[in-house]
Amino acid sequence: MKQAGGADGRGLAAPPSPRYTGAMTPDALKAFARTDAARLGFDAFGVAPGTGDVTAADRLDAFVEAGRHGTMDWLPETAGRRRSARALWPDVRSILVLGMNYGPDEDPLSILERRERGAISVYARHRDYHDVIKGRLKELGQRLLARAGQGEMKVFVDTAPVMEKPLGQMAGLGWQGKHTNLVSRDFGSWLFLGSVFTTLDLLPDAPGRDLCGSCTACQTACPTDAFPQPYQLDARRCLSYLTIETRNPIPRAFRAAMGNRIYGCDDCLAVCPWNKFAVSAREAKLVARQDLKAPALADLLALDETGFRTLFSGSPIKRVGHAKFVSNCLVAAGNSGKAELLPAVLARLADPAPLVRAMAVWALARLSARDALERRADALHNEEDAMVRSEWHVLAQED
């Protein structure tokens, strides 16, 4: 199946490079940018106006006011700059929005049945997408300005206060679905987004049209009911937030539902019917590493700090840190029902990190309630951390 777009032309084939002479018109500049984006490996291209989307800004304000951002304090701190592109950079006139397909080559939900293995979100099974995309955005922007003979530009990939998904919809790459993620007609759920803000005046594309219809597959699939309403997310219930964004322990109410998901969650993305048009990633750096498709929990629980950094060098997983990652793996071990993981869990009861010790207590209780209760009195005698002590105390309440 070829990766060119449909009639709206948002998807990218790889057309031959056009030859331009003399001063370039805005249309010619846009055509050059589209062609150059394909050369650089981007799969989708569109142009959004620099004015922004007031509706999206209002939704963000409501999200923050309801406290649904959890511990992501950077969201309210940067909300003013997120309200529009010009709030971030007053000189912006046009925004190139680029998408790079990272579609998996297998069903990402099949790993959930293999409880002795860890489920890692599709986006994190390969190189850090920031590293893959940012340099190419800079090259695209610099070549565009060179052709124009004027102008300025700034590039962004996820880490700046930019509303990437609303911008993607404004640029016609797709639409924000009921799970709040961007859905593409050509690539389904699997697009990394980046943007080039520029002072050039380019003709914007028609915005993407919402094609979710009456479908609620993404909401039904969520293991923790993180969608209070269509198009609304409560991050405090989302396993991607709980396993990546917050350093707090996974709330007890969501631990069983977490299953073996140790970094992120793809359920709402994977069940989207528009994935029937999705294709596997063609960028080599975004093809999943074999060792991250279904890693053994026993091996992950044995990682020390050095081993963690080595295994996840160049991966976005490295950012969560050793303690948070191992604590996620302990929750998965507790959900596995596999007695062979007991030695690895027991070893973590003496871990230097309180977060790890706390989740080791929970995992031990799940795998062997008798062992947990037998160790409880001695553990409480020696344990000083309030979080870990609370996990030991709960055992008596559940007995």
Catalytic residues: 158
- HSE-CB for 380 with a 13 A CA cutoff: 13
For residue 333, give both structure tokens: 């071990």
Tell me how far apart the alpha carbons of residues 143 and 2 are, in angstroms, rounded to a whole number.
27
Task: Say if residues 180 and 188 touch (Cβ distance below 8 Å).
Answer: no
Q: Can you say whether the dihedral through the CA atoms of 60, 61, 67, 72 is positive or negative?
A: positive
Tell me how far apart the alpha carbons of residues 222 and 218 are, in angstroms, rounded to a whole number.
6
Tell me how far apart the alpha carbons of residues 348 and 330 are, in angstroms, rounded to a whole number.
9
Tell me how far apart the alpha carbons of residues 169 and 204 are, in angstroms, rounded to a whole number.
12
What is the DSSP annotation of 152-196? -EEEE-SSSS--HHHHHHHTTS-EE-TTSSEEBTTTBT-EEEEEE
Tell me how far apart the alpha carbons of residues 394 and 399 are, in angstroms, rounded to a whole number.
9
Tell me how far apart the alpha carbons of residues 94 and 133 are, in angstroms, rounded to a whole number.
19
For residue 84, give both structure tokens: 């529009």
Backbone angles phi, psi at 62, to 5 degrees: -65, -40
Question: Parallel, antiparallel, or unpaired: how do β-strands 261-263 and 119-120 relate?
Answer: parallel
Task: Say if residues 200 and 24 touch (Cβ distance below 8 Å).
Answer: no
Tell me how far apart the alpha carbons of residues 372 and 12 are, in angstroms, rounded to a whole number.
57
Tell me how far apart the alpha carbons of residues 86 and 91 are, in angstroms, rounded to a whole number.
7
